[in-house]
Every structure is written in structure tokens, then in C-alpha cells.
Amino acid sequence: MGISDNRLKIVLYGRNKCHLCDQVELAIQVLAEEFPLSLQLVDIESDPQLHEEMMLVIPVVAINDEIVFRSITHVVTIEELREEFLKRMAD
């Protein structure tokens, strides 16, 4: 069993020059000091289907292949991310 087995797999969907995406990326990087995680950044402009699906709701955060946060009413906060990470680490 490798150390990466218990890591949270985070995917942040966004695009270049998106300050909200940068803000969420920074929050995840801060939380990486508290939680074992891997972060993958996906530029939705590299895929027409992703762009169409997510252009109005980025940044979007997926955890372990499940989309958890879409920016519909607000952008996810570091507190919301921490709470979700804690819950998932406890499972």
C-alpha cells in the first residue's frame, strides 16, 4: 500500500486569467499543507464539451472523481473545502 492511496484526488476546472480560479487554487494549495492531496488543473478551454458544460460555473472542484463544488451562487471558500476534506478523510 503506497502513501498516495489515502490522498484526496482534487481536480480544479477553470481557465486562464480567471482570478476566481486562481483564488480557489491558492486555497487548495494552502490546504495541501494540512491534507494529503494531489491537485490537477484542467483548462476547460482545451475541451469544447467541458467549456460548454462549465463555462458559467467555474471554478469547479472535483474530489475523488466527484464534482463537489460548482460556482453557481458563490465561489467555494477555504472553510468549505477544509470541511469537505475533513469529512472525506474520516470516511
Report the pLDDT value the prediction gives residue 3, as an integer from 0 to 100: 44
> Using the 8-state DSSP alphabet, how is residue 14 labeled?
E
Report the pLDDT value the prediction gives residue 2, as an integer from 0 to 100: 45
Quick one: which of 5, 23, 3 has its CA closest to 75?
A: 23
Report the pLDDT value the prediction gives residue 4, as an integer from 0 to 100: 45
Report the pLDDT value the prediction gives residue 5, as an integer from 0 to 100: 66
- How confident is the prediction for the chain on average, in pLDDT? 93
Can you give the residue ranges of every domain in the chain? 3-90
Q: What is the pTM of this model?
A: 0.91
Q: Which segments of the chain have a pLDDT < 70?
A: 1-5
CATH topology of domain 3-90: Glutaredoxin (3.40.30)
Report the pLDDT value the prediction gives residue 8, as an integer from 0 to 100: 96
